[in-house]
Amino acid sequence: MEYFKNIGKIKFEGESSNNPLAFKYYDPEKIVSGKPMKEHLRFAMSYWHTLTGEGSDPFGTGTMERPWNELSGLEKSKLRADIGFELMEKLGVEYFCFHDLDIAPEGDSLKEKNKNLDEMVAYIEGLMEKTGIKCLWGTTNAFTHKRFVHGASTSPNADVFAYAAAQVKKAMEVTQKLGGENYVFWGGREGYETLLNTNTELELDNLGRFLQMAVDYKEKIGFTGQLLIEPKPKEPTKHQYDFDTSTVIGFLRKYNLQDHYKLNIEANHATLAMHTFEHELNMARINGMLGSIDANQGDLLLGWDTDQFPTNIYDAVLAMIEVLRNGGIAPGGLNFDSKVRRGSFEMDDLFYAYIAGMDTFAKGLLIADQIVSDGKFDKLMKERYSSYESGIGAKIVSGEVGFEELAEYAQELGEIKNTSGRQELLENILNQYIYK
Amino acid sequence: MEYFKNIGKIKFEGESSNNPLAFKYYDPEKIVSGKPMKEHLRFAMSYWHTLTGEGSDPFGTGTMERPWNELSGLEKSKLRADIGFELMEKLGVEYFCFHDLDIAPEGDSLKEKNKNLDEMVAYIEGLMEKTGIKCLWGTTNAFTHKRFVHGASTSPNADVFAYAAAQVKKAMEVTQKLGGENYVFWGGREGYETLLNTNTELELDNLGRFLQMAVDYKEKIGFTGQLLIEPKPKEPTKHQYDFDTSTVIGFLRKYNLQDHYKLNIEANHATLAMHTFEHELNMARINGMLGSIDANQGDLLLGWDTDQFPTNIYDAVLAMIEVLRNGGIAPGGLNFDSKVRRGSFEMDDLFYAYIAGMDTFAKGLLIADQIVSDGKFDKLMKERYSSYESGIGAKIVSGEVGFEELAEYAQELGEIKNTSGRQELLENILNQYIYK
Amino acid sequence: MEYFKNIGKIKFEGESSNNPLAFKYYDPEKIVSGKPMKEHLRFAMSYWHTLTGEGSDPFGTGTMERPWNELSGLEKSKLRADIGFELMEKLGVEYFCFHDLDIAPEGDSLKEKNKNLDEMVAYIEGLMEKTGIKCLWGTTNAFTHKRFVHGASTSPNADVFAYAAAQVKKAMEVTQKLGGENYVFWGGREGYETLLNTNTELELDNLGRFLQMAVDYKEKIGFTGQLLIEPKPKEPTKHQYDFDTSTVIGFLRKYNLQDHYKLNIEANHATLAMHTFEHELNMARINGMLGSIDANQGDLLLGWDTDQFPTNIYDAVLAMIEVLRNGGIAPGGLNFDSKVRRGSFEMDDLFYAYIAGMDTFAKGLLIADQIVSDGKFDKLMKERYSSYESGIGAKIVSGEVGFEELAEYAQELGEIKNTSGRQELLENILNQYIYK
Amino acid sequence: MEYFKNIGKIKFEGESSNNPLAFKYYDPEKIVSGKPMKEHLRFAMSYWHTLTGEGSDPFGTGTMERPWNELSGLEKSKLRADIGFELMEKLGVEYFCFHDLDIAPEGDSLKEKNKNLDEMVAYIEGLMEKTGIKCLWGTTNAFTHKRFVHGASTSPNADVFAYAAAQVKKAMEVTQKLGGENYVFWGGREGYETLLNTNTELELDNLGRFLQMAVDYKEKIGFTGQLLIEPKPKEPTKHQYDFDTSTVIGFLRKYNLQDHYKLNIEANHATLAMHTFEHELNMARINGMLGSIDANQGDLLLGWDTDQFPTNIYDAVLAMIEVLRNGGIAPGGLNFDSKVRRGSFEMDDLFYAYIAGMDTFAKGLLIADQIVSDGKFDKLMKERYSSYESGIGAKIVSGEVGFEELAEYAQELGEIKNTSGRQELLENILNQYIYK
């Protein structure tokens, strides 16, 4: 049964098109730097924001006009799945990401929850087979239910830790069954509200233990997907332990987990941590830990996670430069962890929003590819650091000299000559790449 | 020669005193939890904010009325030192902290700079001997001069790296000579303005190399002080590499430097990184890396480093709880990295400001000690986490169970019962400790 | 029927009490500066946060353990009212504040909504009579329902404007019936998400029209309560028109409404607008527009409205100084627009939280009164501005001189002598008032 | 004497040019919507950031390599002026803006200051005559000198008020002499550090008095330029009285100055006040008070005024839409209140930076013009608000109905039907305008 009867497959029509239901830049099979755009971008639909989000906010109830609102239980879950796969198919989005609780109702007990999950997994497998759509990653929702009020693996209550473990175990199995290429940990309530009642040391150790158990279980069941941690600095808790990329990398090193996990970087979480999106991608990349991307955007003048569809071309270009320099993002992808605004409550807005996000990143890829292949920025960069390629610089890099040799060298230097960083020129060149 | 002729030694007069030039809480020899207050607090004067700061800001020139403004060169440096030691002596501040450039004029070359330094070090040694005042820590200023425009050890220019190395070498020697108990690294311009021209990977590796050289040189000269890194997230650069405590700890682990460095935590840098002061202290403490403290306060509604004298009692209490739980702060101390407001330009304001800061931390210590020795909060904390002391919780902590055992256990759980976190009650109890 | 069987009337036991269910500072009948504490403070319970809030947040469902959760419809509303009045009576909170939708279920139509309201108003009148508790203010909730998705009086849809008008009309009548001393307008969704689709000029004019209609209707029905506008800068919308005190005052002047409205200042809204709480109170006061207060506190490191119970003594003291200088807050009051943390989900937490808030403001009043009656700060202030009391300053104030006379005068001035602002000393004196 | 010997007049070469010293979009004589680009944009050089800024920041001294650094006194001022006019001429910037202290040395007394000013004004008149370059606006610097430590017209010291009056009087005369089309007030230190020592009421009244005196003096000397106030929320003071556009408009209404002043809106000041640039322009425009623009950009992840050259095309497009809807910006203009980064210290960077800013706004104008003349957004806007053009909406607007009529009308409404705000679609359409 087709839901969007008036909307067919979204086609690439090129930048002169005025059709709001066409791509102007996203041309999935177009070869860019040796592979099709779609393989660079590996777009995924977020099940939650797209299919279960209702448009509520702290000051208002749901606004979304959704056909499944009339239904309940598994019936509701199935209609959601049907329409979700129709949406992905028409958009040409080849992956989806999900929490266990997105796809099936929770039920009254862990058993019932798991039974519901199994039924929906089978149903979704059918849709995947029919459409060829794949699972980018699965995860578990261990933050919405009140049992997680004080955390999941960092709860002061060991029963909650156990429950969360059971939930991740099942979600990982489900992800494996659906062929998920990654499994994500976002520490929804892994953090604290006040230090007055928090034993951070035990909580962090427990988080480390939990993640080690996940590694063990992954090996046990032979799940071959990549494990990912998604940093976020605050919200819902006052302080989230996985604050940002550097914090997470340090944490992984402390608990000797650095070879088992990579990072899933979200644009809006980056800015909530006072970093640019490209900064977080860059930090992950240079540490060999860039795993996947949650593509959205925040509003830098607001202090919460707005999860807007990404339409800022600067962010997309700078992100795709990092992806290209990373040699691609696979087995990760670009998951639209983005929701239509509460005022964009009509079903068609889902198309408009995904098209906006996909075209922004497609254009971003095209520009980034041009920048990387032109090599203009690279050349400037190489020149800027050329003093480390010979002479005293090379000796610094190779470890041949220490403070004494350097002090002797410095003694003989006259006034040191630096060169301009040329930031304004570089920003202007970037603009030219964007407009052209 | 006495400068502050009308101000004698600042005495402890108790809380009923209305004398603005007396301590109401700081009673240096009073025994608190087994040792004198002054040994808990180890107050230090910051040479820069107290003696070289002029009260300029990005929109205005200096306002400070200082007797040395009339002088120049070494004469100026000496009068500063004289008055600074008189101030410390009268306040009963037993330590000072300094940058190389605070105590001596820079001169026209590295040689002249070092010569000036040597002369002033000898002069200051005399004052130390006379007064019994000690050096808490030394550091180098590798950020003010234009040669550091693009960084010091992270400069794209290897000559600058070498120059900075020479400077740290000398500053470490000077610190050793003055008996400094610590040596601090604050990465003034170790960061970037834009990723468009920055090779973060090389810059961070160079920072690691630099810090390793410092360890090597420290061992070579037998300097026994503690090495410290001071995190700050931004300002002057858009992104400072030593963003916050967790970032620095992760960095140290990556470069295998974690056994050689601890942290110097500054209150205002904590809040610029969107953390509370106590959070940063806590993170350092539970990682065994709490080394020293820069006691000041920021204005959370402003986005830059205001370095105000600390007068907020909440911050002082929560900080001192962390210090007590750390078993003290020595060989670190509480350095007032604080400056009088631009509008507090009279010499007497230095006394008022130091008294305000010292009394705030003295009162903070008294309250923190009461909280820790009462054990009321500790008891609540212990109860809150008691589920990890037996049963399934103990097995989690000891590593006896994994996802499978936990899933089996969780299967049998009914509705999980949590208990309230009682934040409002705890905040109210904290208030009672403060008022009483 | 008594709900809190184990909790009796909360008594004042003084600061040496360790009873968590007693006041240490709030002594309602104690005379402070000529009138009882309770008349200075005029505490009110917020119906919504206390009785209808469920502890949900954007990432989680409700956690609050509330006896009325089992019920629905009017029965639920009545149990809420019963327990709410028992809570107020036991706490000695003599006022409450409400939205129409807090006290009665919405129903399927405006008619049913109004019928439900009428029934609950009668019920509440009974409780008021029985307990002597009064209504501080009423308001309408014109933001939760999806019809207000694009605003209420600033909606692009005239039907929504009409609906909101009907709702305010009824809510004002109900407030009048309950003897409400004020009626509040908080522009929940009066703002915009993006200028790309917003006609700010029409929307602001409509807001002006709406507020004029409210004035007209108030006069028509003879409602004698004070009309109040509550500023907030953002959340839920990206930009709320009633951004802050100064914006609202300017708006009122533009639409010639300045004689009909005062302001209801909320602490957390102040800080979201990057102002201190006392700044907003001060701006309202010096414009003769300080009407009432929403007493809560935000977390300055978080970017959303946390509405915490106020426990920061600095904020309370500085707020109460403004209230005392305003000659009191009546007919307004101190409404605890505060919610227990999501983790404080037990019923007893309501007591702990209100006691914390009430004691904080009681202590704040005591300190503020001491500060104001001592006159130490006032005297410093008077001296600081004394140059405007005679000579050229007096002529400036009286309007006797212009640029020419001033330029002549300035020509003859030598170096101008300023005096220190003494900020650190003043902060230290404030601390002494707090500790003692 | 030509300074930039290797740089000729910057030419428009079109978007295919790779010449960093050419315009790709700014084609001054090109007709856009009936008038030349240059008349739409009215670009101005800021004398301070371009010619007197040294590249210092709170942590470092100057870096700028400037030929006048060797000189001092009037000689220095003259070389600055020569090179500044050469720069403007080569860039085709037809206006400049200045503070009194930018163009002439301060001297030891008000008399000497004024004498220096007179000499430099004469010199600059010569350059203006030679080049045809005009003065967009003048202002006075009443914030850098220590006498303004506590404010200028809001100083607690009446002598400072008088001095500032003398300074503005002279600066206004100088601006008149140079044919300045506007005179700007930026309240550098008109604000406060702490309410503990501040009488806001007197200070604001004095600010009102000062601005009335300026109006009176303007009339007296027949200065026909437009008077402008420039809002900024904080920095250097904790709270600046002219916080944002709405605050300033409200202030002007209170002191009955609204017919005498318009606003000079700065992008970076907008974002420091948590507003978008376009918001501030919009608020000024719909109040008939959009006077002029300080074109720069801030870094939204930093909390201080970075005053970067504007290169963000989104900001430029949305700003130019407001300008076009305002019917143009004359007699105001687009003043680049922008400084090259501290690391962009070579003279050539001035060209690169101005070209970047000018091309960004030129491109912004072209896109804005296309958007406005296409009318696509306008049409959507008109439809969105069409309910106010007839029926109940028209009656609301015309004032024919009040709460009673609206309540009756609302009674008969069924479920109200809203339409989507289409934010994502609109953002995508905006992107297409930008790329094409």
Buried b (16+ CB within 10 A) or exposed e, D178-199: bebbbbbbbbbbbbbbbbbbbb
Taking an 8 Å cut-off on Cβ atoms, the answer to whether D143 and B60 are in contact is: yes
Q: What is the pLDDT of residue C109?
A: 87
Task: Give yes or no for residue A107 having a pLDDT over 90.
Answer: no
Torsion sign over Cα C49, C50, C54, C57: positive
Residues of A in contact with D271 (CB under 8 A): 301
Q: What is the ipTM of this complex?
A: 0.97
From C24, C352, C432, residue closest to B24, measured CB to CB: C432
Q: Give the one of D55, D145, D303 whose C-beta lies nearest to B302's C-beta.
A: D303
* Closest by Cβ to D299, choosing from B149, B238, B302: B238
Answer yes or no: do A343 and D312 touch at CB < 8 A: no
In the set D40, D49, D99, D275, the catalytic residue is D99
Could you read off the pLDDT tens digit of each residue along chain C, which spans 436 residues?
Answer: 799 999 999 999 999 999 999 999 999 999 999 999 999 999 999 999 999 999 999 999 999 999 999 999 999 999 999 999 999 999 999 999 999 999 999 888 888 989 999 999 999 999 999 999 999 999 999 999 999 999 999 999 999 999 999 999 999 999 999 999 999 999 999 999 999 999 999 999 999 999 999 999 999 999 999 999 999 999 999 999 999 999 999 999 999 999 999 999 999 999 999 999 999 999 999 999 999 999 999 999 999 999 999 999 999 999 999 999 999 999 999 999 999 999 999 999 999 999 999 999 999 999 999 999 999 999 999 999 999 999 999 999 999 999 999 999 999 999 999 999 999 999 999 999 999 8
Confidence at residue B3, expressed as pLDDT on a 0 to 100 scale: 93
Provide, as residue numbers in chain B, all residues whose Cβ is less than 8 Å from the Cβ of D59: 143-144, 188-189, 235-236
C102 is known as an active-site residue: yes
Encoding tokens for residue B436?
A: 């009483």
Three-class HEC string of chain B? CCCCCCCCCCEECCCCCCCCCEECCCCCCCEECCEEHHHHHCEEEEHHHHHHCCCCECCECCCCCCHHHHCCHHHHHHHHHHHHHHHHHHHCCCEEEEEHHHHCCCCCCHHHHHHHHHHHHHHHHHHHHHHCCEEEEEECCCCCCHHHCCCCCCCCCHHHHHHHHHHHHHHHHHHHHCCCCEEEEECCCCEECCHHHCCHHHHHHHHHHHHHHHHHHHHHHCCCCEEEEECCCCCCCCEECCCCHHHHHHHHHHCCCCCCEEEEEEHHHHHHCCCCHHHHHHHHHHCCCEEEEECCECCCCCECCCCECCCCHHHHHHHHHHHHHCCCCCCCCEEECCCCCCCCCCHHHHHHHHHHHHHHHHHHHHHHHHHHHHCHHHHHHHHHCHHHCCHHHHHHHHCCCCHHHHHHHHHCCCCCCCCCCCHHHHHHHHHHHHHC
SS in 3 state form for B54-119? CCCECCECCCCCCHHHHCCHHHHHHHHHHHHHHHHHHHCCCEEEEEHHHHCCCCCCHHHHHHHHHH
Cα gap D236→A101, rounded to integer Å:
50
Contact A57 C58 (CB under 8 A): yes
CB contact under 8 A, B301 and D60: no
Taking the C-alpha atoms of residue A386 and residue A395, their distance in angstroms, rounded to an integer, is: 13
Cα separation, B81 vs B78, in Å, equals 5
Could you say which of A20, A343, A430 has the minimum Cβ distance to residue D421? A343
The string of pLDDT tens digits covering residues B53-83 is 999 999 999 999 999 999 999 999 999 999 9
Selection from A264, A260, A262, A266 nearest residue A223 by Cα: A260
Interchain contact, B359 vs C271, CB within 8 Å: no
pLDDT of residue B436: 83
Interface touch C421/B15, C-beta < 8 Å: no
> Chain D partners of B302 at a C-beta cutoff of 8 Å?
234-235, 238, 303
Which chain D residues are within 8 Å of B193, Cβ to Cβ? Answer: 341, 343
Q: Are D304 and B301 a contacting pair at CB < 8 A?
A: no
Nearest-CA distance D145 → chain C (Å): 11
Asked if D238 and B301 come within 8 Å (Cβ–Cβ), the reply is yes
Active-site pick, C27, C49, C100, C102: C102
Minimum distance, in Å, between the CA of residue C48 and any CA atom of chain A: 12
Query: Which chains form contacts with chain C, at 3 or more CB pairs under 8 Å?
Result: A, B, D
Query: At CB < 8 Å, which residues of chain B contact D?
Result: 55, 57-63, 143-146, 148-150, 188-189, 193, 234-236, 238, 272, 299, 301-305, 341-343, 345
CB nearest A343 (choices: C59, C150, C234): C150
Structure confidence at residue D186 (pLDDT): 97
Tens digits of residue pLDDT in A120-172: 999 999 999 999 999 999 999 999 999 999 999 999 999 999 999 999 999 99
Residue B202 is nearest to which of A249, A251, A385, comparing CB atoms?
Answer: A385
Contact B356 C24 (CB under 8 A): no
pLDDT digits (tens, 9 = 90+) for C9-25: 999 999 999 999 999 99
Give the active site residue among C99, C269, C275, C279. C99
Q: How high is the pLDDT of residue D110?
A: 85
- For the ranges A2-6, B169-173, B235-239, C107-111, which has the lowest average pLDDT? C107-111
Considering only CB atoms, D150 lies closest to which of B145, B302, B343, namely: B343
User: Looking at residue B109, what is its pLDDT?
Assistant: 87
Nearest by CB: C349 against B301, B355, B420: B420
Question: Could you tell me how many CB contacts below 8 A there are between chain A and chain C?
Answer: 95
Q: Which residue has the higher pLDDT, A414 or B186?
A: B186
Cβ-defined contact of A144 to C61 (cutoff 8 Å): yes
Identify which of C159, C197, C199 has the shortest CB distance to residue D421.
Answer: C197
Parallel, antiparallel, or unpaired: how do β-strands D261-266 and D239-240 relate?
Answer: unpaired
Contacts of A175 in chain B (CB under 8 A): none
8 Å CB contact of B144 and D301: no
On the CB side of D316, CA atoms within 13 Å amount to: 25
pLDDT tens digits, one per residue of A32-66 = 999 999 999 999 999 999 999 999 999 999 999 99
- For A392-413, write each residue's pLDDT tens digit: 999 999 999 999 999 999 999 9
Nearest CA in chain A to B430: A196
Confidence at residue C436, expressed as pLDDT on a 0 to 100 scale: 83
Give Cβ neighbours of residue C224 (< 8 Å, ≥ 6 apart). none
The reported pTM is 0.98
Please determine, for residue B346, whether its predicted confidence score (pLDDT) is greater than 90: yes
Which band of pLDDT confidence, cut at 50, 70 and 90, is reported for residue B320?
very high
- Whether the CB-CB separation of D357 and D310 falls below 8 Å is answered with yes
Counted across chains A and B, CB pairs separated by less than 8 A come out at: 271
pLDDT-derived band at B110, boundaries 50, 70, 90: confident
Does a cis peptide bond (omega within 30 degrees of 0) precede residue C156? no
pLDDT, chain A, mean:
97
A62-88: per-residue pLDDT in tens?
Answer: 999 999 999 999 999 999 999 999 999
> Which chains does chain A touch, 3 or more C-beta pairs < 8 A?
B, C, D
Q: What is the pLDDT of residue C360?
A: 98
User: Is A99 tagged catalytic?
Assistant: yes
From the CA of A110, how many Å to the nearest CA of chain D?
A: 39
pLDDT of the residue at D436: 83
pLDDT of residue B106: 85
Model pLDDT, residue B108: 85
Q: Which residue of C has its CA nearest to D392?
A: C158
Tell me whether residues C111 and D411 touch, CB distance under 8 A: yes
Q: Distance between CA atoms of D109 and C39, rounded to whole angstroms? A: 57
Token reading at A425 = 């020129």
The catalytic position among A40, A49, A99, A275 is: A99
Query: C308 pairs with which residues across the strands?
Result: C297
Say if the Cβ atoms of D234 and B345 lie within 8 Å.
no
Strands (DSSP E) along D116-199, which ranges? Answer: 134-139, 182-186, 191-192
Whether D356 sits inside 8 A of A431 (CB atoms) is yes
Q: Which residues of B touch A402 (CB under 8 A)?
A: 213, 216-217
Taking only the tens place, the pLDDT of each residue in B170-200 is 999 999 999 999 999 999 999 999 999 999 9
The pLDDT assigned to C233 comes to 98
Asked whether the beta carbons of B236 and B143 are under 8 A apart, the reply is yes
| Chain D neighbors (3+ CB pairs < 8 Å) | A, B, C
Alpha-carbon gap: D215 to the closest alpha carbon of chain A (Å): 36
Tell me which residues of chain D have a pLDDT lower than 50. none
Please indicate whether, in this complex, the C-beta atoms of D345 and B148 are within 8 angstroms of each other.
no
Min Cα–Cα distance to chain B from D406, Å: 43
Running DSSP on this structure, what letter comes out for residue D20? T
Helix (H, G, I), strand (E, B) or coil at C157: coil
Instruction: State residue C1's pLDDT score.
Output: 76
Marked catalytic residue, from A102, A244, A307, A369: A102
